[in-house]
Amino acid sequence: MRYRTIGTDPRTRREVSALALGTMLFGSVTDEKTSFAVLDRYVEAGGNFIDTSDNYAFWADGGQGGQSEELLGRWRRSRGIGDEIVIATKLGARPLAPGTSYVDNAEGLSAKVIRESAERSRERLGVAKLDLLYAHIEDHTVPLRETVEGFADLVAEGTVGLLGVSNHATWRVERARALAAAAGLPGYEVLQYAHSHLRPRTDVPEALFPDGSLGHAGPDLLGYLRAEPGLTLVAYSPLLKGAYTRPDRLPADFDHPGTPARLAALREVARETGATVNQVVLAWQIGGDLPIVPLAGVSSVAQLEENLAAVDLDLTAEQRARLDAAH
């Protein structure tokens, strides 16, 4: 396994594996036995960066979520897992009532919600401290200063380590970080957005969240990442939910003239390296010049094994240039 550092403060920064494990469907769609087997194998292989959220997976049973965090808590207790494993979770998008959605009934990012939701996540996970806590989606009803101060209070109290942000417009991320810096408070250091080798269109509804914010890491977000060396991008949906091997699963916002050329480049490099297309995508992210940690969810140990092998796949500079240039 390879590792990289997230965060800049010696008191909160962590060394995490180059491949993060997504557990969105663990405890709901993916049964406990399979989930435990995947988690065990990931840790055995040197993985130590696990991702969840307080609203996973509310859509599976029409509830409010929490199944993934609860399963991770049971797994931690049964395996005697301590703080050597970095567990990241998110808040802000948990539905306020069963049968509703974050689209029109999200918990939001008020100081009260941040405190209460973080406490519930700590209880479900069975931890004294949340290693990394994200603001999951934007909340335009609460002043950014209140959100910034709400997260900073938990860091000061020692119940949260690193702070992250997901699915926010880049200007909102920068404004929140500027407010934190001006007040001498900890700010967001980890960004979580959808990112893969194929690029989506951003002029179709499928590319946007209901509030109009981007879920994808577009040129502006990647440019921001390049300009701010203390930041790390955790890239969710790097394998597009299986679309690289099942073209029928390719989302509508990837249906544009640039996609065939980038797919052809991926397949060419896969043939040259003897790797799978999925492995080439992950290796391209892991070994690039930007600090990117792919976050891949799996539903079987076999899928995990394929992903783990990508960590040791070194692409040549020429192959990487070819992948970057395809359009």
CATH number at residue 61: 3.20.20.100
Q: Please, are residues 66 and 23 in contact by the beta-carbon 8 Å criterion?
A: no
* Of 220, 249, 244, nearest in space to 233 by CA: 220
- Domain limits for position 235: 3-325
pTM: 0.96
Q: Please, are residues 263 and 198 in contact by the beta-carbon 8 Å criterion?
A: yes
Residue 47: both structure tokens together: 């993985």
pLDDT of residue 104: 86
pLDDT of residue 208: 58
DSSP string, 17-46: ESSEEE-TTBTTTB-HHHHHHHHHHHHHTT
pLDDT of residue 262: 97
pLDDT of residue 201: 84
**Nearest-angstrom CA–CA distance, 54 and 71:** 12
**Nearest-angstrom CA–CA distance, 284 and 274:** 15
pLDDT of residue 209: 62
Residue 274 burial (C-beta neighbours within 10 Å; 0-12, 13-18, 19+): exposed
pLDDT of residue 124: 98
* The total number of structural domains that make up the chain: 1
pLDDT of residue 251: 87
pLDDT of residue 212: 54
- Residues in the chain predicted with pLDDT less than 70, given as ranges, are 203-214
